[in-house]
Amino acid sequence: MTKHFSLSRQLAQALLLAAGVAACQAHAAKAVPAVASAAQPKLVVVLVVDGLPQEQVTRYRDQFGQGGFRRLLEQGAWFSDAHQAHGITVTAIGHSAVLSGAYPYQHGVIGNNWIDPVTKKSVYCTEDGNFHYIGEDTQPDDGTAPTRLRVSTLGDELRYSTGDKAKVVTVSGKDRGAILLAGKTGTAYMYMEKTGNFASSTYYMQQHPQWVQRYQAAKPQDRYYGKNWTPLLADSAYVNDARDDLVPAKPGTRNTFPFAYYSDSGKLDGEYYSRLKSGPFLDELTLEFARAAIDGENLGRNPAGVPDILGVSLSAHDYVNHAYGPESKMSHDHLQRLDRMLAGFFLDLDKKVGMDNVLVVLTADHGFANVPEFSETRGISAKRIDGAKLVDALNQHLAATLGIDKLVTTSSLPNIYLDYALAEKSGIHRAALEDAAARFLLQQDGLAQVYTRTQMETGAVATRMDTLMRRAWNRQLSGDLMVVTKPAWYFGKGVGGTSHGTPYTYDTNVPLMVFGPRWIKPGAYGQYAEVVDIAPTLAHLLRIRQPSASEGRILTEAVR
């Protein structure tokens, strides 16, 4: 291993020691305040807006109405420097962080998909073949259970502390959004794109309660057939957004308003229900189901007198940003529509539970890069990297230089897996193989950094990127190499759209807002915060044990 790829052990130890001393001093200087005399909240509502960068909240803030985002920003605590503080910023990892307070190296969810160390096959974060959706078609890799989540969540601890009397219910347009918020002992409901229903799985129950059956029977998802998504605001409101024609539309799609919701068959079928995901109607349905859950489960009115948790993951913004970019008119409009939806939801919460009894948290699982074509118009180098071609080129290079074929066994980028045993048989030591692979990768367009297993196992960190990537690496599950793209570059191919997944601030900096006047001091807070701080803060206010692997801090500056 060359000095380029690792720090000396002495420097690493010095850095870690200094960090530990600073942390101890900070803890001593800022003791945790006693919990306010106010009773526990009756309902904790955790909202996760999938794929919402912090910058979009600030950029479009003046156009928000009074009751949605603005209510949280002005009447709650808003942390402008909040981050999903791990290096691989994707949906499953971000949702796992929210209520576990843990990083991937402990909670074990290292991506949406990864390579199983035993089978060497790709697995999905919430798949478990022992369970199936209730009344819905289930494929082998569908998300049905939190089996791969290795730690407890806030909901698990609340149920433990109340003898399972507290209710923890989550709902999302994505299975992973609901399941990873629900933890081990909550109940998750997810959108079924073949039928438009929200359904749970047999991990949680054998049949749906009657309130779910009534909701499904009404088929609210069918009312959008033939409707269009058109801009909410006047044309002048969107003048600073990117041009619609900057990136060509992908085959079979549009890249400009209006967007119609239908199916080619002319019937209510899977094509139509799948189309609903990329627009505001999915979020409308998700919040509607959340309202039904509040009524059906009496959330916030628990007869045992204990708090409940409602988790709502709003998935559509992620789909919109992937397709059009966060700089687009479509993303801009969707956020404005979501703002109005949240205002209506908060009004209903006030009627059903009373906002004086509710503690609300809003955050996101990750941010977003701009569309590469947009970045390039601003003089920023940005492109898509074909991951399959990159891995093939690496294998060919290693074969040519080391004389052994297929030293790369598989990949699930940014993770790459090497065949150490095959190399050792030919007298090539592990570090030499890693070094050869890393040197080649760092010469490729669009790659900024490569981390090796040897580096990760030594624990050496010098930069913020080192820290974030180390948190994202799990010893048993992660690859032997982890690659980081240059800023504004990402893994993808073809034309159109954009993505996320890096340790750069456009992907890590997300909203963190907490509202609950009886427990939270309103204000705009510039202190650094992380999404993993949510769980310990809520545990403090609920007077329960923190989740098992929580590493966040209590946001004392905002607690009454």
* Residue-level pLDDT at 248: 79
Neighbours of 505 (CB within 10 A): 15
Instruction: Kindly give the interhelix angle for 387-402 and 430-441, rounded to the nearest 10 degrees.
Output: 130
Mean pLDDT of 140-163: 98
- Which stretches of 241-371 are DSSP H helices? 270-275, 280-297, 316-324, 329-352
Mean pLDDT of 162-171: 98
Question: Residue 414, preceding bond cis, omega within 30 degrees?
Answer: yes
d(CA 366, CA 468): 14
Q: Give the pLDDT confidence of 494-542 residue by residue, as tens digits.
A: 888 999 999 999 999 999 999 999 999 999 999 999 999 999 999 999 9
Residues 6 or more apart in contact with residue 216 via CB below 8 angstroms = 135, 197, 198, 199, 208
d(CA 239, CA 235): 7
* Residue-level pLDDT at 446: 97
Mean pLDDT of 84-93: 98
d(CA 108, CA 539): 22
Residues 6 or more apart in contact with residue 239 via CB below 8 angstroms = none
* Residue-level pLDDT at 21: 38
Q: Residue 73 above 60 pLDDT?
A: yes
Task: Look at the alpha carbons of 64, 65, 67, 70 in this order and tell me if their dihedral is positive or negative.
Answer: positive
Secondary structure (DSSP) of 105-167? HHH---SSEEE-TTT-SEEETTB-TT--BTTS---TTSB---TT--S--HHHHHHHHTTT-S-
Rounded to the nearest 5 degrees, what angle is found at the Cα of 159, between the Cα atoms of 163 and 530?
150
Lowest mean pLDDT segment, chosen from 236-250, 254-268, 360-374, 445-459: 236-250
Pairing of the two strands 481-485 and 447-452: antiparallel
Q: Residue 36 above 80 pLDDT?
A: no
* Residue-level pLDDT at 252: 76
* Residue-level pLDDT at 15: 40
* Residue-level pLDDT at 8: 36
* Residue-level pLDDT at 31: 53
d(CA 217, CA 211): 10
Q: Could you give the 3-state DSSP secondary structure of residue 366?
A: coil
d(CA 208, CA 200): 7
Q: Residue 117 above 50 pLDDT?
A: yes
Q: Residue 35 above 80 pLDDT?
A: no
Mean pLDDT of 59-74: 97
Instruction: Kindly give the interhelix angle for 91-100 and 534-542, rounded to the nearest 10 degrees.
Output: 30
Mean pLDDT of 381-396: 97
* Residue-level pLDDT at 14: 40
> If pLDDT is split at 50, 70 and 90, which confidence band does 10 have?
very low
Mean pLDDT of 13-41: 50
* Residue-level pLDDT at 250: 76
Could you give the percent of the chain with pLDDT greater than 70? 93
**Is the distance from CB of 456 to CB of 438 less than 8 angstroms?**
no
Mean pLDDT of 211-234: 98
Give the chain's largest Cα–Cα span: 71
Q: Which of 431, 469, 475, 443 is nearest to 457 (CA)?
A: 475
**Is the distance from CB of 554 to CB of 32 less than 8 angstroms?**
yes
Phi, psi of 181 (to 5 degrees): -80, -35
Mean pLDDT of 53-80: 97
Stated as kind and residue range, the H or E segment containing 448 is strand 447-452
* Residue-level pLDDT at 448: 98
Q: Could you give the 3-state DSSP secondary structure of residue 170?
A: strand
**Is the distance from CB of 325 to CB of 370 less than 8 angstroms?**
yes
Pairing of the two strands 523-525 and 77-79: parallel
Question: Residue 258, preceding bond cis, omega within 30 degrees?
Answer: yes
Mean pLDDT of 310-328: 97
The structure tokens listed for 379 are: 């003089």
Strands (E), 222-277: 228-229, 259-260
d(CA 118, CA 98): 29
d(CA 133, CA 142): 9
Give this prediction's pTM: 0.93
d(CA 89, CA 520): 28
Q: Residue 17 above 50 pLDDT?
A: no
Q: Residue 33 above 60 pLDDT?
A: no
Average model confidence (pLDDT) across the chain: 93
* Residue-level pLDDT at 251: 78
**Is the distance from CB of 101 to CB of 534 less than 8 angstroms?**
yes
